Structure 1
Amino acid sequence: MTNPRLSSMPSLRRQHLLAEFSGLKQACPEGIFLSLTPGDPTLWAGVMFIRKGPYENVILRFQISFPDSYPQLPPLVTFSTDLFHPLIAPLTTYMYTTDIQDNGTVSATDDERLPPGGYSLRHGFPGWFGRRSRAAGSSQTPRIPATPAKGGLSSVTQTPDSKATAASLTPGASQSSLAGGVSTYEVLRYIRSTFDDEEVLDALPLEAAGNPGAWYAWKTRQRMLGKGPAAKDAEKPEEVAPAPVEGEEKEAQEESAPATEETKPKSPVVPTTPPVAARNPAEWNWEGVWETRVKKGIATSMSESILYGGVAAGEELIHFLPMEEGDIATAKENLLRTLGSTI
């Protein structure tokens, strides 16, 4: 039976996805392994191993779904591993990336909403997002944002140490230079950097977060450790207003008092209960939250049954054996003995 998604996607784009997947089989970012869904090149399954950084030793399972209009629209990256991360929407809630308008309001449209486990690409690839940019270019076909979203970074460029860095996007960039120039390799490398590079996490703006709670928890963790921009801001001395000159304070009080204050009779003060306002997440106590949640998530990711078999065959991607160091050393010796003549 023909896949309805394949019938709506142009054959040239299907071939482009297959070519990209073939290229990633030869040169994929370190620690990332991909599998193509049989009969559907628009759905990829993957596993990611993080070997350094704040999320060291976590094992992440994810899927990449490419829309019909890719690369004009971004792929949807969804993690099935439950992890406390600023860019990953929690599996138990329905989150969305936000866009802070000039008047201070925050909202999101349906096409920008993140499903449970969805990963926000807004920070690394702002050219794919921004409603105002899309509205400005709505007369063009196809639509493409003209300017990057606020606080975001542009497409990732490779560096000698394989870290994801950002270069500024030129306002009014053409469709081919903005969307067509972003490869899946760059997307994967950026995603990995948000798990193993503290500097990338420190640079994340709140409006790009898929999980605002994890964003606040990370900022608190860095401030407590004296790292990142949050710690530098905390070290800045607060500005103290100069003390008023003697006599000026009394004059200011007299000027601010109502002129008819002495003539009006004083009414009895009626005690009122102030309304209980919802606390801003920035005012919550986030101390120790990031460490506790992430440690638990890493331990859970390493004990998932799918890694060691015993699940449906359709969900199998790659299996591992829980081996001790001695068993691993013996296996290496046997492998070298067997392949010694060809190495």
Structure 2
Amino acid sequence: MASQKFSTLPALRRQHLLAEFAGLKQVCPDGVYVALTPGDPNLWSGVIFVRDGPYAPAVLRFQISFPDSYPKLPPLVTFSTDIFHPLITPLSTYMYSTDVQSNGTSSATDEERLPPGGFSLRHGFPTCTFDDEDVLDTIPLDAAGNPGAWHAWRTHRIEKGKEFESPPTLDDVTATVTPVTSPGSARKPGEWNWEGVWEERVKKGISTCLSEPVMFGGVGAADDVIRFLNMGEDDLNAIKENLLRTVDHPS
């Protein structure tokens, strides 16, 4: 299937995507690793190693898929790792970023629909949204992929002494993001007690993504393009020595 996609992809578009991928060597941030899906330059697979900040030391898998109209439309970033984050749609829920009409109703186009694990690009790329508290603080509610995580983060920060200028109203919550799969939910996100929720959910998510079945067994992974090996200390040191030898004495 991948080879068929590659053969039917227009040559100019294929070269454009391959050139962009090659350019990542110069601009890819630390801790982010990306690989092409064999035979399909429209789909990239990546892993983020969060080294600092509130989501450290999470290891997060994601995919980047490019629409036919790219670069007029942005790529879709989807996380297969289940992590509680203001900009990431829960894996069990489809979300709509909605537009409130004059008659009080809400609507959403297909382009605005975020799939499970979808990352909301309305506040930028996920480079620093995992390790920088200040960036998380600046996320507006209307950019959130997960309004519950947005409220939980705000509550967590307020408990730590952070002051926010203008907290949103309950009407703001329902006007920005509407969950599709939970029509029977009686309470709005702003009506929940979020005390301690962010710490508990994120701690659980980090623990799960670092567990052996997820890290080395492929549980929860969307693909197997990037794999990890559970190696012993001796094997790891041998690989490091070989890499250093290659750097010191390139062929």
**Structure 1: any 5+ residue segments left out of the alignment?**
125-189, 235-276
Q: Answer yes or no: is the 8 Å Cα contact 1:306–1:319 preserved in 2.
A: no
Q: Answer yes or no: is the 8 Å Cα contact 2:118–2:145 preserved in 1.
A: yes
1:339 CA displacement: 3.1
Are positions 1:281 and 2:216 aligned together? no
Alignment partners' CA distance in 1, 2:119 and 2:156: 21
Match of 1:210 in 2: 145
Are positions 1:291 and 2:199 aligned together? yes
Code of the residue aligned with 1:65 in structure 2: it is S
Q: Answer yes or no: is the 8 Å Cα contact 2:51–2:57 preserved in 1.
A: yes
Where do residues 262-281 of structure 1 align in structure 2 (5 Å cutoff)?
A: 278-281=186-189
Q: Answer yes or no: is the 8 Å Cα contact 2:45–2:225 preserved in 1.
A: no
Q: Secondary structure at the match of 1:193?
A: coil
Match of 2:157 in 1: 222
Question: C-alpha offsets along residues 64-98 of structure 1, whole Å, 9 cap, x if unaligned?
Answer: 00011101011011110000011111111112223
Alignment partners' CA distance in 2, 1:5 and 1:119: 26
Alignment partners' CA distance in 2, 1:75 and 1:233: 32
Match of 2:134 in 1: 199
Q: Answer yes or no: is the 8 Å Cα contact 2:5–2:40 preserved in 1.
A: no
Gap change, CA 1:341 and 1:211, over 3 Å in 2: closer
Match of 2:52 in 1: 52
Q: Secondary structure at the match of 2:123?
A: coil
Question: C-alpha offsets along residues 211-264 of structure 1, whole Å, 9 cap, x if unaligned?
Answer: 1110110111111111252xx568xxxxxxxxxxxxxxxxxxxxxxxxxxxxxx
Match of 2:38 in 1: 38
1:38 CA displacement: 1.1
Q: Secondary structure at the match of 1:47?
A: strand
Q: Secondary structure at the match of 1:30?
A: coil
Where do residues 169-188 of structure 1 align in structure 2 (5 Å cutoff)?
A: none
Alignment partners' CA distance in 2, 1:79 and 1:215: 17
Match of 1:150 in 2: none
Q: Which has the higher contact order (CA 8 A, sep 6+)?
A: 2
Question: C-alpha offsets along residues 107-156 of structure 1, whole Å, 9 cap, x if unaligned?
Answer: 321221011111110122xxxxxxxxxxxxxxxxxxxxxxxxxxxxxxxx
The normalised TM-score by structure 2 is 0.79
Gap change, CA 1:317 and 1:50, over 3 Å in 2: same
Alignment partners' CA distance in 2, 1:97 and 1:28: 29
Alignment partners' CA distance in 2, 1:310 and 1:224: 37
Q: Secondary structure at the match of 1:16?
A: helix
RMSD: 3.2
Alignment partners' CA distance in 2, 1:337 and 1:120: 37
1:101 CA displacement: 5.1
Q: Secondary structure at the match of 2:95?
A: coil
Q: Secondary structure at the match of 1:18?
A: helix
Alignment partners' CA distance in 1, 2:15 and 2:246: 40
1:106 CA displacement: 3.9
Code of the residue aligned with 1:285 in structure 2: it is N
Q: Secondary structure at the match of 1:282?
A: helix
Match of 1:135 in 2: none
Where do residues 20-99 of structure 1 align in structure 2 (5 Å cutoff)?
A: 20-99=20-99
Q: Answer yes or no: is the 8 Å Cα contact 1:89–1:96 preserved in 2.
A: no
Report which stretch shifted further, 42-51 or 279-288. Answer: 279-288
Gap change, CA 1:67 and 1:228, over 3 Å in 2: farther
Q: How many residues align?
A: 229
Code of the residue aligned with 1:224 in structure 2: it is E
Q: Answer yes or no: is the 8 Å Cα contact 1:31–1:50 preserved in 2.
A: yes
Code of the residue aligned with 1:61 in structure 2: it is R
Gap change, CA 1:82 and 1:338, over 3 Å in 2: closer
Alignment partners' CA distance in 2, 1:337 and 1:13: 35
Larger Rg: 1
Question: C-alpha offsets along residues 8-30 of structure 1, whole Å, 9 cap, x if unaligned?
Answer: x5422221110011121354111
Match of 1:303 in 2: 211
Gap change, CA 1:284 and 1:328, over 3 Å in 2: farther
The normalised TM-score by structure 1 is 0.59
Code of the residue aligned with 1:286 in structure 2: it is W
Gap change, CA 1:332 and 1:202, over 3 Å in 2: farther
Gap change, CA 1:317 and 1:336, over 3 Å in 2: closer
